[in-house]
A and B are shown apart, each in its own frame.
Chain A
């Protein structure tokens, strides 16, 4: 409890540090929202012209996008401290975390407050709300209960992937492109229903790089899209479990990375 308080104080300090530059804070927030709206604009143009993508209409696509972006926002809130970790490692800031009587990972997580979190939260919740409304989801008790669990699983999956990819820096030192590719470009895959891809990629996004559990499979459940079951219908309910597995594996990879750094780092 005491330790949590220390981390909370450090997280608050990061937020205060960020708010020292108020103009930059809001300019950045505005720009990030604009950037995502432009991206959504492209999707909107496609939806207006083609009406649907592989059987997913406008509302369903919005819901799919909302699930992704909303959980991405939460994942960013907790894990964006890992951004530019390779620079922390090369610049020696990581060493500093090792000479303090706290967990290095926790110190890194609270070391930065990421503005884009707010943007993701705003865009994600708006998309989720309108997606649910437009697609006329038939809400049941179970669906309402499942939503937070799915978000939780999605956060763990995205955060876990981020953590694992960041840990690669312990071996390669520079991993900016990898983080960019896996964390930012990788999620472009699941902006669209994964049924548009060939079998190999569907398998990849389900069993190897399980981003499809962030939005595609749970969306099938919420939207009652029973006609297009992929692999097995049970996958639609596995998001929280997949999240826990991915995150555990990532934590293990991170610890292995720290060990490697301490025994062979320079």
Chain B
């Protein structure tokens, strides 16, 4: 086994590629019949030259639309898939070559599928994992206590997993993936389907684990609030390529020129033609939201507000920064274009 050095990156991916072949089926009845005899295949490149390096203790958001290659990259890093080209190491171990050694180093949570024993009391699952990861009794008791204290697992332990709510189960699933104190934790959609309170609990806990245990966490999610709250760094994938790798806050600074101006009028609201430079994005009674582009052409925010207040009875004005979600959506919708990604942060 390779001795792992503290100061080197914990995850290193270089030029990862992964190709799949998919068979095609036409539509309708005729298509189904035709598929019986044809073997038309198409090569799909799910991951197309992905590279990044992650330092110990980082909390990285891994975002992208469905099919952008997020899950495939995670599957390569967890040793499930072998890349078609490129290399990856996790704590110095090549996951797909030395699967078991890598498995002992990492924790994995697949949001939609539980790793717990469905029909047995929750505590049994933890006992099983203690055996599987060969954890010493003392270490196990310490970690178990820590996890239960923070996540309040106590009352759940005697309940069969199938009777847990989705939020409770996710708490247990995350705890289960941490019981062997992995240095790296992969989370695939951990907040999917959860209500607001449960999401918040999970986020708090993940932040705390990252801080106190120094666990490196890679989080894939559709919920940009997760990323905004937790991940200092963000990697965005599109069509199998990295299109952004840098600070989450940096994304906002670079692309957050678009602000939303929410104005509440007292009674009479202006006719649309009266505001030629402002695009209306939402209208709700006397409340109108405008899109404001900070490009110097609209004449500055102060001037616009002054003009609005002078011409119309304004009751309230709110200026909103765009959320990361809005920015990413506009990247996908090509309303914001990124400069070609050069591999530098």
Contact = CB atoms under 8 A, between A and B. Distances in A.
**Are A and B close enough to touch in the complex, i.e. CB under 8 Å?**
yes
Interface string B102-114: 0110101010110
B120 to A, nearest CB: 5
Contact of B113 (A2, A5, A10, A92): A92
Chain B, interface residues (CB within 8 Å), range: 20 to 34
Give the one of A13, A18, A21, A99 with max B CB within 10 A.
A99
Nearest to B115: A96
B82 A95 contact: no
Nearest to A258: B99
Interface stretch (B72-80, B220-228, B247-255): B72-80
B133 A101 contact: yes
Nearest to A92: B113
B118 A9 contact: no
Interface string B282-293: 000000000000
Interface string A1-44: 01001100110010011101100000000000000000000000
Given A95-B80, A96-B113, A99-B106, A10 B96 contact: no
Interface string B83-117: 01000000000001001110110101010110101
Contacts, number: 71
Given A98-B80, A99-B106, A262-B81, A20 B113 contact: no
B99 A98 contact: yes
Contacts of A200: none
Interface stretch (B6-14, B124-132, B202-210, B325-333): B124-132
A20 B110 CA distance: 26
Given A96-B113, A99-B103, A264-B21, A6 B120 contact: no
Given A95-B75, A98-B78, A262-B81, A20 B119 contact: yes
Contacts of B100: 101-102
Nearest to B125: A13
A188 interface: no
A196 B99 CA distance: 50
Contact of A17 (B82, B101, B108, B119): B119
B110 A13 contact: no
Chain A, interface residues (CB within 8 Å), range: 20 to 34
Contact of A96 (B82, B96, B110): B110
Contacts of B110: 92, 95-96
B130 to A, nearest CB: 10
B20 A264 contact: yes
A2 B133 CA distance: 11
B49 interface: no
B80 A93 contact: no
A49 interface: no
Interface in A68-126: 91-93, 95-96, 98-102
A81 to B, nearest CB: 14
Contact of B82 (A6, A20, A102, A263): A263
Contact of A13 (B20, B81, B120): B120
Contacts of A21: 119
Contacts of B20: 264, 266
Interface string A137-155: 0000000000000000000
Contacts of B103: 98-101
A265 interface: yes
Given A20-B119, A99-B108, A102-B100, A6 B113 contact: no
3 nearest A-B pairs in the assembled complex, by CB-CB distance: A17-B119, A101-B103, A101-B100
Interface of A: 2, 5-6, 9-10, 13, 16-18, 20-21, 91-93, 95-96, 98-102, 262-266
26 contacts: A9-B128, A9-B131, A10-B132, A13-B120, A16-B120, A16-B124, A17-B118, A17-B119, A20-B119, A20-B120, A21-B119, A92-B112, A93-B113, A95-B75, A95-B80, A95-B110, A96-B110, A99-B108, A100-B103, A101-B100, A101-B101, A101-B133, A262-B81, A263-B84, A266-B20, A266-B22
